[in-house]
Chain A
Amino acid sequence: MKKYFLLIIALFLAFYSPDLSEANNLQENMQLSINPETISINLGFKGGEAEITGSIPPGSEVYLKLQSAPGTVPLNQKDKKGPLWITVEHVQVEGVPKICQVLSSNSIAGLSPDLSETMEIDNQFYFIKRKGRVTKKEEGKKEVLPPDSSSQYLDGLINIYKKRNLYAIRENALEVTGNSFHVNIAIPPEIPPGDTIITAYAVKEGKIIGKAQCNLFVKNTGIAGWARNQAITNGPMYGIIAVIIALIGGLGIGTAFNWLDKIFSRNKHKGAASDVH
């Protein structure tokens, strides 16, 4: 029994060790880093800039992808009913990241389909559409739309994100000097909190010869962080706080105006009285 067990382990290692060592080799071939590694979002945040640098095997091209964690987004579809354009369907798009940017030192269109699929990089965001899921609620039940129906929503969302510069393809944007590369990227203000994963591939003669990954961590701090955290985790209390602030603000400004009115009318009366004298 013990012999069989050892044999199975030996066979397993024989089959899988080349893959593991290949993966290790790919990682050893390449290095990747981002500066800064952490971005703090507070009330003064307007977006920012980060520098991505790395090393690659000589003579290879670099393909780089920035992708935030997938999220859920509500979308509406408008259609013409009679003479009017109205919303005809409400859906939720799941599994689509809010940020997706692809940068390269060479043409992306020139990648072979196999390579494109392995790296999940193309210039039409097909790799995003493949992972996206569109659902709608019918009579309280969640229904997943088939690919032919969901395609228009995924295309629509990608277009919205492209217009807001959250999705971008930047071919030939990476500067390669010898065996190192670097690029500056704009961090949009809408970047979601959490990890944005940066993956880089080194490609030579149609093969991946290097792969590396690093993370950009985005965190909310100060009042912005508190408000977001409360809104997500403690809705009722957050709502009550919002109402109390609004009431205090509204009544406070109203009282201040009343006080100013009294001062001005008193001054007016004094002025009028002195005019009479």
Chain B
Amino acid sequence: MQIDIFLPIARMPFNIFSVLGMGGAVGLLSGLFGVGGGFLLTPLLMMAGVPPAVAVASDTNQIVAASASGTLAHSRNSNVDFKLGFIILAGGLIGGSYGTELVKILRGLGSFEFVVKIAYVVMLFAVGVFMFFESIHTLRKKPGEESKPVPRKFMQSLPLQLYFEVSGVQCSLLALFGLGFLIGILAAIMGVGGGFIMLPVMIYIIGMPTLKAVGTSIFTVVFTAINVTIAQAILNGTVDLVLAMLLLIGSSIGAQFGVKIGKQLRGEQLRIVFSLVVLAVMVKILLDLLVAPTSTIVPGGGH
């Protein structure tokens, strides 16, 4: 069905059902894995002809809605650890500010983008492969065989220990703040929201159960997305409210279904699917880097 709507900032007509569909697919991932989904939606919008700067900014705006919707759904199932989330978030926001400054310094040194892209691909590959094999291993393991990984032992030996009732984990406040800070720096350098890094950190380093990690991760994404949306509106004026509103209707509905599907899966199964998504994104980025572009001059303003 061809019902178009004119996007005032992108300055183009766009099929309403395509936007709703794209938003729905990304919202599903958001509810399922606690990620923002910008890694998928921004390239999809750009392929559909939306200018890169508008795609990035409007995508971030809809992530606010999808993550708020996902947080609400997860909180109803008591899967959001607000206390732990706020500590990581505080570290993440401060780390993000330092990360932005670090980007300026690294850009001055040259070859910044080359190093970042390589680091991003390697990180996604490492996270994806590790999560995949770890989850397969856990699925095959007999119950009661669980062993505590070294980073988790280290975290529990640091001062200012707090107990988090919702997640059922004990952890140092300093360590959580430090992890949030590192995630913020990485997110700023890589130009991503941080959900991809957040989930493995919460599961493997902090030791949170998978569903609690997903719920808490999506809760932190709400605030990072709000921060970026306002920054984009002030600095670039590229948030397309009409595009974002259509996307958010799709993504908020998709996020609800994502949460429902997530509840039907075991933690290990969820981690296997997540690791496959991470590896697929890694392959997509790698192909973008390896395949020669049709033109070496391209519209700017994206990530």
Given A81-B111, A86-B113, A250-B65 in contact, is the A242-B239 Cβ separation under 8 Å? yes
Tally inter-chain residue pairs, CB-CB below 8 A.
198
Query: Restricting to B234-252, which residues have a CB under 8 Å from any CB of A?
Result: 234-235, 237-242, 244-245, 248-249, 252
* B280 in contact (CB, < 8 A): no
Q: Give the total of B residues in contact with A, Cβ under 8 Å.
A: 65
A47 contact set on B, CB distance < 8 A: 13
* A224 in contact (CB, < 8 A): yes
A155 contact set on B, CB distance < 8 A: 297
Mask for A88-113, Cβ within 8 A of B = 1, else 0? 10110000000000000000000000
Query: Restricting to A27-68, which residues have a CB under 8 Å from any CB of B?
Result: 41-47
Structural contact, B289 and A85, CB atoms closer than 8 A: yes
Structural contact, B256 and A257, CB atoms closer than 8 A: yes
Structural contact, B293 and A254, CB atoms closer than 8 A: no
Query: Restricting to B1-15, which residues have a CB under 8 Å from any CB of A?
Result: 4-6, 8-9, 11-13
Query: Restricting to A141-192, which residues have a CB under 8 Å from any CB of B?
Result: 152-153, 155-157, 159-160, 164, 189-190, 192
Q: Determine how close the nearest CB of chain B comes to the CB of A44; give it in whole angstroms.
A: 7
* A76 in contact (CB, < 8 A): yes
User: In the docked arrangement, what's the CA distance between A136 and B86, Å?
Assistant: 40
Given A189-B13, A243-B226 in contact, is the A238-B249 Cβ separation under 8 Å? no
Query: Restricting to B84-111, which residues have a CB under 8 Å from any CB of A?
Result: 108, 111
Structural contact, A81 and B114, CB atoms closer than 8 A: yes
B62 contact set on A, CB distance < 8 A: 246
Nearest chain B residue, comparing its CB with the CB of A252: B252
Structural contact, B68 and A258, CB atoms closer than 8 A: no
The contact size tier of chain A is: 35 or more
User: In the docked arrangement, what's the CA distance between A84 and B66, Å?
Assistant: 34
Given A225-B8, A253-B253 in contact, is the A85-B230 Cβ separation under 8 Å? no
A85 contact set on B, CB distance < 8 A: 288-293
Structural contact, B117 and A254, CB atoms closer than 8 A: no
Q: Determine how close the nearest CB of chain B comes to the CB of A139; give it in whole angstroms.
A: 8
* A266 in contact (CB, < 8 A): no
- Among the 9-residue stretches B69-77, B156-164, B169-177, B178-186, the one with 4 or more Cβ atoms under 8 Å from chain A is B69-77
* B233 in contact (CB, < 8 A): yes
Mask for A219-259, Cβ within 8 A of B = 1, else 0? 01001110110011001101111110111011111110110
Q: 10 A-B pairs, CB-CB below 8 angstroms?
A: A79-B296, A81-B111, A85-B293, A160-B299, A231-B8, A231-B9, A231-B239, A236-B233, A250-B66, A257-B256
